[in-house]
Amino acid sequence: MSERTPMIEMRNVSKHFGSVIALSDISMKVFSGEVMCLLGDNGAGKSTLIKTLSGVHRPTEGQLLLNGEEVRFKSPAYALDAGIATVFQDLAMIPLMSITRNFFMGREPTIGWGPFKRIDWKRADRIAKQEMAKIGIDVRDPSQPVGTLSGGERQCVAIARAVYFGAKVLILDEPTSALGVKQASVVLRYIAKARADGLAVIFITHNVHHAYPVADAFTLLKRGGSLGSFRKEDISREEVLNMMAGGAELESLDAELAEFQRSDQQDQQASSANTTPLSRASNA
Ligand SMILES: Nc1ncnc2c1ncn2[C@@H]1O[C@H](COP(=O)(O)OP(=O)(O)O)[C@@H](O)[C@H]1O
Ligand SMILES: [Mg+2]
């Protein structure tokens, strides 16, 4: 395992914004065909980390390696050309544009030559429909606005686009955070498919329950620093939860809720003994 070359690697990366240290000495390896879950509280540095990988920010210190070679991206376009596709938290999609246009984003297939060159819409629509069908989303009319899709389906358009255009690394910043359970599971299933297709996937979430089923490894960030990377076989869901900021708070919240419940029951027992049904209903 250790002889494998990571598809993407960070070595001792730091990122400062003036006096703010957003990332400090982060090292992380992500392999093809695996999902790395990046976990951490708000402000931990997750978005900064992936923006550094995807060419939005340049690291203040440290190196990025793609398939063993050092890379420096001048802009996100360079990272994309190198095969790093990122679906940002603030999803870059135009709701009124068609699904097909959002799928191709300027890379539509063309037909004809020279002055007669134009977009081959028939083919573009067919490909968009086909690629969405592969992930189990039946788009009847790909020329309909992308805004008519659900949040989960929209995430899937962005992921399908990355896979179709041959990305080697797929980075997803909190794709499931605004979604209900059912839609989140659609996205999670597609993340699993991208892994099966051999992509190296970096999946950011603060929801351990979304992360755990699809992850091969975890990296935990806290206040810009790394608490380390862990293979799934070496760490339980509870351990992940406890290491994240909030794990301890959740436990004490559990205890508090149990306490509330107990006193509630006592109240109810007391009130059912000496109040009329009417006054109880108005309390509820
Ligand atoms: N462009 C920026 N300029 C200054 N500070 C920033 C910038 N981007 C992020 N930060 C700071 O870096 C820290 C990490 O932010 P971020 O990476 O967005 O965290 P996360 O995505 O884990 O919630 C925060 O303290 C944030 O305020
Ligand atoms: Mg973020």
**Percent of the chain beyond pLDDT 90?**
43
Which range has the worst mean pLDDT, 9-23, 134-148, 157-171, 247-261? 247-261
Residue nearest to atom 25 of ligand 1 (CA): 43
Give the global pTM.
0.78
User: How many A from CA of 52 to the centre of ligand 1?
Assistant: 12
Residue nearest to atom 12 of ligand 1 (CA): 22
Residue nearest to atom 14 of ligand 1 (CA): 45
User: How many A from CA of 151 to the centre of ligand 1?
Assistant: 25
Q: Which CATH superfamily is domain 8-235 in?
A: P-loop containing nucleotide triphosphate hydrolases (3.40.50.300)
User: How many A from CA of 24 to the centre of ligand 1?
Assistant: 12
Q: What is the residue-averaged pLDDT of the chain?
A: 84
pLDDT tens digits for 80-115? 889 999 887 666 667 788 999 888 887 889 999 888
Q: Is 169 exposed, middle or buried (0-12, 13-18, 19+ CB in 10 A)?
A: buried
Nearest to 210 by CA among 39, 46, 53: 39
Q: Is 19 exposed, middle or buried (0-12, 13-18, 19+ CB in 10 A)?
A: exposed
Site to probe by mutation for ligand 1, drawn from 46, 48, 50, 56 as the one with most ligand atoms within 8 Å of Cβ, is 48
User: How many A from CA of 237 to the centre of ligand 2?
Assistant: 22
Closest approach atom of ligand 1 to CA 17: 4
Interior/surface letters 194-221, b for 16+ CB within 10 angstroms, e for the rest = bbeeebbbbbbbbebebbbebbbbbbbb
pLDDT at residue 67 greater than cutoff 70: yes
Give the whole-angstrom CA distance, residue 15 versus residue 20. 9
Give the whole-angstrom CA distance, residue 177 versus residue 200. 21
Give the whole-angstrom CA distance, residue 71 versus residue 64. 6
Q: Which residues line ligand 1 (CB under 6 A)?
A: 17, 20, 22, 40, 42-48
Nearest to 158 by CA among 138, 143, 148, 173: 173
Give the whole-angstrom CA distance, residue 131 versus residue 85. 17
Q: Token pair of 207, please?
A: 């929801």
